Structure 1
Amino acid sequence: MNALLNLLIWWPKRIAAHFEWAGPLVARIVVGYTFMLTGWAKLDNLPAIIENFKSWGIPFPELLTPFVAGWEFLGGLGLMLGLMTRVLGGGLAVVMIVAIISAKLADVDSLETLLGFEEATYFAVFTWLAICGAGKASLDYFLERKQSDK
C-alpha cells in the first residue's frame, strides 16, 4: 500500500512542487487573454451590446454595459499580468454568475447543462484565482515580496 501511495500520490506531489508557479500562470493567461479580447470587442460595439443587455433583462444597461466591458478588458489584462488577481478574479466570477442567470438560465434543465456552459468553467477558474491568488509568476507576488522586504 505504501508503494502505491508513493507512486500515485507522493512522487507526483514532489515533482509538481517544482512547477506550482505554472498552474496559476497558465490559467491567468488563457482566461485573461480571452476576457481582454471579449471586453475590447464589447467596448468597440457598445450600442449592440447594450441592446443585448436590455434583451436579457439586465437593469441599467446603459451604465452596466460599459462597466462590465471595461471590467472584462482591464480584468483580463490584469489577470495576464497577475496584478490585483484576487479582486479582478472575484469580480469576473460575479460577472459569470450574472451572465448565467441573465442569458443562460432559461436553458438550464439539469446540472449537466449548467456545468456545460463555458461561463461555468470561467466561473470556476475565476473563483480559484480569487481564492488562491496569482501564484509566484505574477506582479502580485513581486509586489507582496517587495512590500515584505521593507
Structure 2
Amino acid sequence: MHTVLNLLIWWPKRIAAHFSWAGPLIARIVVGYTFMLTGWGKLMNLPAMIENFRGWGIPYPELLTPFVSGWEFLGGLGLMLGLMTRICGGGLAVVMVVAIISAKLADIDSLETLLGFEEATYFAVFTWLAISGAGKASLDYFLERLAPKR
C-alpha cells in the first residue's frame, strides 16, 4: 500500500511542488487576457452594450455598462499582471454571477446546464484566484515581499 501511495500521490505531489507558481500564472493569463479584450471591446462599443444590458433587464444600464466594461478591462489587466488579484478575481466573480442571472437564468433547466455555461467556469477560476491569490509569479507576490511584515 505504501508503494502505491508513494507512486500515485506523494511522488506527483513532490514534483508538482516545484511548479506551484505555474497554475495561478496560467489561469491569470488566460482569463485575464480574455476579459481585458472583451472589456475593451465593450468600452469601444458602449451604445450597443448599453442596449444589450437594457435587454437583459440590468438596471441603470447607462451607468452599469461602462462600469462593468471597465471592470472587465482593468480586472483582466490586473489578473494578467498579478496585481490586486484577490480584488480583481472577486469583482469578476460577481460579474459572472450577475451575467448568469441576467442573461442565462431562463435557460437553466439542470445543474448540468448551469455548469456548462462558460460563465460558470470563469466564476470558478475567479473565485479560486480571489481566495488563493496570484501565486509567486505575480506583482502581488513581489509587493508583499517589499512591504514590512505585519
TM-score range, shorter chain: over 0.9
1:92 is aligned with what amino acid? L
Taking the aligned partners of 1:2 and 1:54, their CA distance within structure 2 comes to 60
**What does residue 130 of structure 1 align with?**
130
Q: Determine helix, strand or coil for the equivalent of 2:32.
A: helix
Q: Determine helix, strand or coil for the equivalent of 1:19.
A: coil
- Provide runs of 4+ in structure 1 moved above 6 Å: none
For structure 2, list consecutive stretches of 5 or more residues without a partner in the other structure: none
Taking the aligned partners of 1:92 and 1:80, their CA distance within structure 2 comes to 13
Taking the aligned partners of 1:21 and 1:98, their CA distance within structure 2 comes to 30
Taking the aligned partners of 1:144 and 1:99, their CA distance within structure 2 comes to 33
**What does residue 72 of structure 1 align with?**
72
The share of aligned pairs that are identical, in percent, is 85
For structure 1, list consecutive stretches of 5 or more residues without a partner in the other structure: none
Give the CA deviation at 1:148: 3.1
Give the TM-score normalised by structure 2.
0.98
Residue 108 of structure 1 pairs with residue 115 of structure 2: no
Give the CA deviation at 1:15: 0.2
Correspondence list, 1:39-54, <5 A: 39-54=39-54
Taking the aligned partners of 2:50 and 2:94, their CA distance within structure 1 comes to 19
Residue 55 of structure 1 pairs with residue 55 of structure 2: yes
Give the TM-score normalised by structure 1.
0.98
Deviations 1:7-30 (A, max 9, x none): 111000000000000000000000
Pairs aligned (count): 150
**What does residue 91 of structure 1 align with?**
91
